[in-house]
């Protein structure tokens, strides 16, 4: 289950605008690699939508079936805001609906046989 916690307006390369809903998953426990201590976090993801600002505002607090999952993507550069360090990432966090999750977990990909 995820919750719509916010929205923001983004600009396309052609100058037109669209809105994205910001969704957040449930509480997760993570162990720090540096200290070994446990801390709490929640994954967030931006989901593009066709809604105007009024509709986006009305959706705040809405719960949706699904989860936020780590997905491999084409490598991209990211600048860490707190340090200014630029790193290369190969993943992003994406909202996966309950239905899509079922398909991903239960459909076997056809593999090409090489003779």
pLDDT in tens, 1-42: 999 999 999 999 999 999 999 999 999 999 988 899 999 999
Domain membership flag for residue 51:
yes
Domain membership flag for residue 56:
yes
The alpha carbon dihedral of 36, 37, 38, 42 has a sign of: negative
Determine the pLDDT at residue 111.
64
Do the Cβ atoms of 48 and 20 come closer than 8 Å?
yes
Residue 20 to residue 44: CA distance in whole angstroms: 12
**pLDDT tens readout for residues 82-93:** 899 999 999 999
Domain membership flag for residue 111:
no
The number of domains in the chain is 1
Domain membership flag for residue 114:
no
> Which is more confidently placed, 109 or 21?
21
Residue 47 to residue 45: CA distance in whole angstroms: 6
Q: Which domain holds residue 11?
A: 2-106
Domain membership flag for residue 115:
no
Domain membership flag for residue 113:
no
Domain membership flag for residue 6:
yes
What residue spans of 19-97 are helical by DSSP H?
53-59
Give the global pTM. 0.78
**60: how many CB neighbours lie within 10 A of its CB?**
13
């Amino acid at each position: 289950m995820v919750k719509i916690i916010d929205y923001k307006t983004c600009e396309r390369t052609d100058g037109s605008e669209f809105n994205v809903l910001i969704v957040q998953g449930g509480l997760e426990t993570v162990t720090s690699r540096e200290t070994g201590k446990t801390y709490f976090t929640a994954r967030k993801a931006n989901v593009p939508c066709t809604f105007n600002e009024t509709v986006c505002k009305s959706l705040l607090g809405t719960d949706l079936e699904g989860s936020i999952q780590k997905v491999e993507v084409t490598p991209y550069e990211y600048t860490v805001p707190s340090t200014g360090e630029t790193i290369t990432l190969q993943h992003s966090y994406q909202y996966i609906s309950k239905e899509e999750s079922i398909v991903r977990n239960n459909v076997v990909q056809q593999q090409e046989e090489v003779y």
